[in-house]
Structure 1
């Protein structure tokens, strides 16, 4: 007997999202986190379009989009000598109340029902916690620490220390499960217990975003009063003494400031006051809420994402310098990839290759995204500021205009990245047969919709105003873009595939735009909205496609025959 299906170590956003999706899929989950509750110090501040699509799948994207900055607050990225000094460049972005309509108007590049949303992890985690706890088979425990892990052929055992709280006494428990997922951050106890190392670049030095960083969370509503410029979401400041990044958390005076410390520097109250004053350009009253230190300059990916029945996700599997906001979002994508596979393995539908496909698909994605983040960090972190930027008169004006031109180029390169958000693909996955011909390009700043197997299923707005994604089922979906019903042969193929893929939803969309987008009469779409297969014929070979999509090895498929049963479309 096991106590639950899945143990999740780490109750940050990745662990909570995974728990919420597993709970929705009827999987029993126990989550353990050492913190006393959800985060109280802002960390991740940007939800990518892909993350918002995943939130939409589990029914929380609208709640998330209502949080963070006020609905009419434009989340601009702006660059200054100081916040009360010269504005050098500004990337304008739509306020949350306008974001979806803006994305529809820009669907030639932001082909998504869920454009990016600027909202701190501070607000996202409670929504994820509520979503997880809404499922009776999902339990989240804070003030708990996993101190030992062991595994056998059929289970994982975790030793968990429960701290004393107002609701319980201190105790140590042993918890067993079918699988265990390490979502416990860059210092992951789970990863270290497995003897898995990070690979890549550690401690890369730059003028900014490359070294020891001091992150200060403070309340200073007077910042808006003293600034002569329009509000922004990110304020990057380049003064003669320091570079700083200040991020608006709620649009009402709460900010998080990141400053890179010198090697011999240690933060204290006086230095914090000086740093805030230097970045703003004047001394204003503020309330210090919390602070932390962290290190920028990492481009690291774990050498393995799995060992037996234990998997790694989020920062436990990859560590980013946070330019581009890719670390947290890559972790959410990890969890989305893993959730449906865990369900299939636990419910007995999976072949032996399904578990290993997680690493085969997600490790290349982590290498891709860490490389993008490193490039963004180099672009801003190695930038040298001309002395003339601080001069008055025509020479200073000219220097600021030229410097601003580069900053505008950089801002577009780092923050207008639909290709990064939407372009992840699994063309080399063992779960599919790659199509002949070249894949679509994968630049950061352009997303090219592509329905080749392995790619994210292209999005379309339907004639009735709905998103195509809202037509997909929670399991596999067969999207039918042609007219007419099914022949006897096709119906038999569907029945056999439906036995291999429980909860297969058959969706007919007869709009020409969708047929043109997918370039096939039939498209099999996975639960994580990636294409598994497309073609114009449904026959006995479709059963092979279905079996492979859930991890049955090509060499074994010929000996497996799924029982025929009625298919509910």
Structure 2
């Protein structure tokens, strides 16, 4: 084998996957057709869950220092135009206050990493550095995968490199797995003959149809606007709706406007739409443009075929309301990285890689449904014809629309349940529990330590519980500061199956109350595999199950029962 994993696509999902695998000692070769990281802003919102994953690979602090200035409040605000009437505003804390804010708001956002507003422009280079810091990772830009074939236990990709503007002779790279992180037009997905299913081309007044995205520089906008700065500026008039996002807080913005029927995307039309959204003559320079289509709620019919897998936009395509597409992709990669590592090490059973589709495809269906609801909420709202009138009726219309937009802002952006509520209760790796899980509510997260759910977070003094967990599986023991001798023998035996099993013992009452069990087995992606009040044979059975070896669980239990005491 030339490597363990071939990654096709060097966007944020591919780069994160390369870094996460590399830190686990997995040999990776990543191929990206572009000559470098993104130059046009796309994803601009990092969810709390994404930031938790970034924390696990050691880059969250660096990413939190990027994007908007640390004292810039990333508010979501709604206007008739940037220089016109402000209709509504959702206040959010600046990044410099993030950690303190997370501790104060732990009752609604129980996470060490609240959401962070930072463009893909800045995130990708950090992930690239993290990947290249791993001796087992090679990242190749200007390199296209033009074909691949699968063998019984490998995938061979044909790669064409571009060197000094000319294509080199094709070369072949062989790996154990291939992961397509190559976007909505995924060559990998098409080669595997896997189709998207769902809703395509849904029409709305906004976020449904052809959209023009323009990256531009207008530093004077902050001077001419009478309103406090924001991260997202939504503008509404009877003639046009637009979304403008501050990229760096220093004058760089990206604006998305819905293409008008029969209107071309020529430079003057684009400039006119920007001036209309601003509402005043402000000088600006256009950096780049792109045309894309909103209105998609699509999920691949399968996330894997043989040794080839899909992640990110290759596996699911979102309308960007809620910022869920990119973040769902990072969560895909976090789910997959540890499974590939343990499969490569021989610890994983036949069902381990198969569980990727079983766990992540339902999440993609869940998240695309949430994104569609957010898009409907903002895209179908009617704009009163007299919204801009300078009379009492116009003012009343602005107040009424503002009331709705204030509600909508919380609906779309105050979504801890979306970020933190993903669960894998029906996974083949999860030890089932009796009872009913809490509702999957986008705007409310109820901490839950049932098997399959994200491990509840708690601060112990000023330390995040998550920072105590190891890179592999962690056995969390509550109500005690140390293992008993019998428990230690059980753990030692389990380490014959998973050498990286770590143990965290705590008598903190918050942890005991949250987890409601003496012992909790936590996966590398911070989801719970099993919990119980006794170890004995239960730990080994749960470990076999979560490693995809559960067909041997009964034999394992019998062998443990027959093992003599140390």
Moved over 6 A (4+): 561-564
CA RMSD of aligned residues (A): 1.4
Q: Deviations over 1:284-327 (max 9, x none)?
A: 21111000011000000000000000110000000000000000
Partner SS state of residue 388, structure 1: coil
Equivalent residues of 2:146, 2:158 under 8 A apart: yes
Matched, 1:54 2:50: no
Moved more, 478-487 or 414-423: 478-487
SS at match of 1:176: strand
Relative distance call for 1:275 and 1:493 in structure 2 (3 A) is same
Name 2:555's counterpart in structure 1. Answer: 559
Return the offset for 1:485.
4.3
Mark the CA change 1:562 to 1:346 in structure 2 (over 3 Å): closer, same or farther.
farther
Deviation at 1:240, TM superposition (A): 2.8
Aligned to 2:497: 500
Q: Distance in 2 between matches of 1:439 and 1:310?
A: 33
Q: Which residue of 2 aligns with 1:149?
A: 148
Per-residue deviation at 1:561? 7.7
C-alpha displacement of 1:225: 1.2
Alpha-carbon shift at residue 169 of structure 1 (Å): 7.2
Aligned to 1:475: 472
TM-score (norm 2): 0.97
Q: Is 1:546 paired with 2:562?
A: no
Segment drifting more, 270-279 vs 258-267: 258-267
Deviation at 1:154, TM superposition (A): 1.1
Aligned partners of 1:263, 1:484: CA distance in 2, in Å? 67
- Alignment partners' CA distance in 2, 1:487 and 1:467: 25
Residue pair 1:75, 1:93 contacting (<8 A) in 2 also? yes
Among 507, 529, 534, the residue aligned to 2:531: 534
**What are the equivalent positions in structure 2 for 1:397-476 lying under 5 Å apart?**
397-463=395-461, 465-476=462-473
- Do the aligned residues in 2 keep the contact of 1:163 with 1:171 (CA within 8 Å)? no
* Unaligned ranges ≥5, structure 2: 561-566
* Contact kept in structure 2, 1:497 and 1:547, CA below 8 Å: no
2:84 is matched with 85
- CA deviations 1:349-373 (Å, max 9, x no partner) are 0111101100000000000000000
Residue in 2 aligned with 1:199? 197
CA distance in 2, matches of 1:560, 1:497: 10
Count, aligned residues = 560
Aligned residue for 1:567? none
Cα distance in 2 for residues equivalent to 1:173 and 1:208? 45
Q: Does 1:295 align with 2:279?
A: no
1:389 aligns to what SS in structure 2? Answer: coil
Corresponding residue for residue 563 of structure 2: none
Counterpart among 317, 320, 327 of residue 319 in structure 1: 317
> What is the 5 A alignment of 1:109-120?
109-120=108-119
CA contact (8 A) 1:497 1:562 kept: no
The match for 1:345 among 332, 343, 354 is 343
- Per-residue deviation, 1:269: 1.1
Q: 1:88 to 1:560 in 2, by over 3 A?
A: same
Q: Is 1:377 aligned with 2:393? A: no
Cα-to-partner distance string for 1:375-430 (whole Å, 9 max, x where unaligned):
00000000111123211122221111111000000000000000000000000000
3-state secondary structure, aligned to 1:353: helix
Q: Distance in 1 between matches of 2:43 and 2:408?
A: 20
Determine if the alignment matches structure 1 residue 395 to structure 2 residue 393: yes
Query: Does structure 2 conserve the Cα–Cα contact (< 8 Å) formed by 1:499 and 1:563?
Result: no
Gap regions ≥5 residues in structure 1: 565-569
- What's the offset of the Cα at 1:171? 2.9
The residue that corresponds to 1:185 in the other structure is 183
Q: CA deviation at 1:484?
A: 5.8
Q: How far off its partner does 1:342 sit?
A: 0.1
- Retained in 1: the 8 A contact 2:481–2:507? no
In 2 relative to 1, CA 47–485 (structure 1 residues): closer, same or farther, beyond 3 Å? closer
Q: In structure 1, what is the equivalent of residue 249 of structure 2?
A: 251
1:433 CA displacement: 2.0
Q: 1:172 Cα shift?
A: 1.4
CA–CA distance in 2 between the matches of 1:349 and 1:396? 67
1:453 touches 1:531 (CA, 8 Å); kept in 2? yes
